[in-house]
Amino acid sequence: MNIPSWKQLKLSLERPYKDEDGETIPVLLDISPEGLHIYEQRESSITSLGENLRRIFVERGVDFFDRTKGHHLQEKPPVNEDEDASGVEEGPDANQSPEQPMSVEELFKMRTEIIPQLFTSLGEINLAKDLLTSLLTSSQPAQESIPTNLSATVVSKPLPVISVQAFNAQLTIGSKDEALRKAANVFKSAANSMERGRIKGEKYWVDALKVRRGNWGLIPAPLPFGSSTGKGADKTSRDFLITYGLEESPAPFRRQALARMATEDADANSLVFLHRQKTRLRVSVSVVNVDGVTVTTQNTDIKTDLESLEGALKVAQQEIVEHEIFSLLVQEAGNLPTASARVSERLIVIDAAQGTELKFELLDDKKNQLKSTENLNNKEKCDLIFFALQALLLRRHSHMKMQRLGTAFINRPPTEMSFPPPILQPIIDLLQYQVFCQRIKLELDKMVTALSAAGICSSLRFDPVGETGRQLVQFFEKSVGKVVGGEGVLRIDNRHTIRLTFLSPSSLTAHLSQATLTISSIPQLCQLLTDEVERCLLQRICDRGKEMGEQTNAGTWFIDLSRCVGRWEGCVL
């Protein structure tokens, strides 16, 4: 059983010697009629010892030590009264000592000795006066008291010595002072507690208004444990919770995205997150460069002010969104048609394309970042993947909302009705498309280099992404039918043109002057470029031969089965 603190107050029987500041409390001797306090003067030990020695000789005689030899007081011989009187009369004449003025201490001692006697005399005089007055005014004779064997005697306790009275008064005052100080501390602590409660209450509702102004969701808090839930019971919630999850998120994630206002300590964080795990999603891309060195990059960590309510809620919302994204990535990683994946509890590794590895990790918020050689282009690629996943998640939520409201089946193909749009496959398509475009550009650059080495003028215009920014944003908004495409144009000798168009993830089409061909592999592309460049060179030779034949009016030049044939004057070349 807990005893209240005010019942545990103990009064000290010792005299307080120091105040709250550690200063010595002076001894109060008297209070003058004007209200001035007279304190005892502090004397040094040397002065006090000298005064005590002087008092020995003054009060007990000069021969005190001679009379106390052997620790026994020697009795003086009896003196006759006549001799004593004569001695008293002759004493002043014999020992004439100069009179000295009395000090303040001596006057105070004399005063303390005389005043009690004067008060006693005053009391006796007043008592006698009252007795005489009562006797003189009474007309009835005094009644004889009944004789009895028992008699009562009133004995009054004598007053203590003045020093004892002063010490008792100081003891009482000190005890009362200490008790009052402890009581004052109790009231002060109670007042401070009430003030802290008021400040916490004001801060609670100010923070609640800030949260509401930030358009965060507020829901009624559940009733306290043990509340009555029967018929007629008051089921009104007295508090609220903050929900920061997405509206179309699954129920487990919405149940985790709950926070409440802190009420225990006003100096601590104003929000208490009930199910926060403090883990973040990190996107890493490992690429093998031309030198065979693996370069790993990761997305940029965005710093947010965690001291403010808005910043803390944004970080918590970002964490729960990343958890939902990771759960969807785990579901889709095992069903990728064009890539292989390895999935664990907090790690997903996907071989997205040739020489490209995509990694998704759930790491602790305070864990150090990965130390590696980073490339700016790859870092921007990781940032694009990180934010594209959030856009694809919102697209998935929008599709589910339309399907829930009954409008998803309007003008939609049957294949789209059952499954929501994926979020991982578009990312894989983009990575594969990038590697695909790099390989195509590498083959085209080889051909341009070979033509330049042969002295043939050639140029290449390569545009892997032909869409505008708005069209690229729509790639993440629409559920189907949106792909990224580009084109490459190789111009040989400023006359012949080879145009290639490509679509994500790996669709390539060659647009030639005589036909349009679909290319399914890089060797097929190399063979096509070789044949077209050879045809262009043969055509150039044939045209040059025709120009020479027109000048001499002899000879015929033509191309047959990838060969340039020239005839003139019975000769065949």
Domain boundaries, the chain: 240-419, 426-534
Which fold would CATH assign to domain 426-534? Aspartate Aminotransferase, domain 1 (3.90.1150)
Q: Where are the beta strands (DSSP E) in 227-371?
A: 240-243, 258-261, 271-273, 279-288, 294-298, 340-343, 347-353, 356-364
Q: How far is the C-alpha of 71 from the C-alpha of 76, rounded, in Å? A: 16
As a whole number of angstroms, the longest Cα–Cα distance in the chain is: 194
Q: How far is the C-alpha of 95 from the C-alpha of 116, rounded, in Å? A: 33
Above 60 in pLDDT, residue 250? yes
pLDDT score recorded for residue 64? 67
pLDDT band at 94 (very low <50, low <70, confident <90, very high): very low
pLDDT digits (tens, 9 = 90+) for 175-231: 888 888 999 999 999 999 999 888 888 888 888 888 889 889 888 888 777 777 767
Taking alpha carbons only, the member of 359, 251, 365 closest to residue 316 is 365
Taking alpha carbons only, the member of 552, 545, 532 closest to residue 572 is 545
Dihedral sign, Cα of residue 320, residue 325, residue 328, residue 329: negative
Q: For 305, what's the count of Cα atoms within 13 Å in the CB-facing half-sphere? A: 4
Phi-psi region of 160 (alpha: psi -120 to 50; beta: other; left: phi over 0): beta
pLDDT digits (tens, 9 = 90+) for 99-111: 677 787 888 888 8
| pTM of the complete model beyond 0.85 | no
* Helix count and strand count (H, E) for the chain: 11, 19
pLDDT digits (tens, 9 = 90+) for 339-364: 888 999 899 999 988 888 999 999 98
Q: Are the C-beta atoms of 509 and 518 separated by less than 8 Å?
A: yes
Angle subtended at Cα 247 by Cα 243 and Cα 249, rounded to the nearest 5 degrees: 100
Q: How many residues does the chain have?
A: 573
Q: How far is the C-alpha of 484 from the C-alpha of 466, rounded, in Å? A: 8
pLDDT score recorded for residue 555? 61
Which CA distances in Å does 250 have to 5, 81, 343? 52, 123, 22
pLDDT digits (tens, 9 = 90+) for 25-35: 888 888 887 87
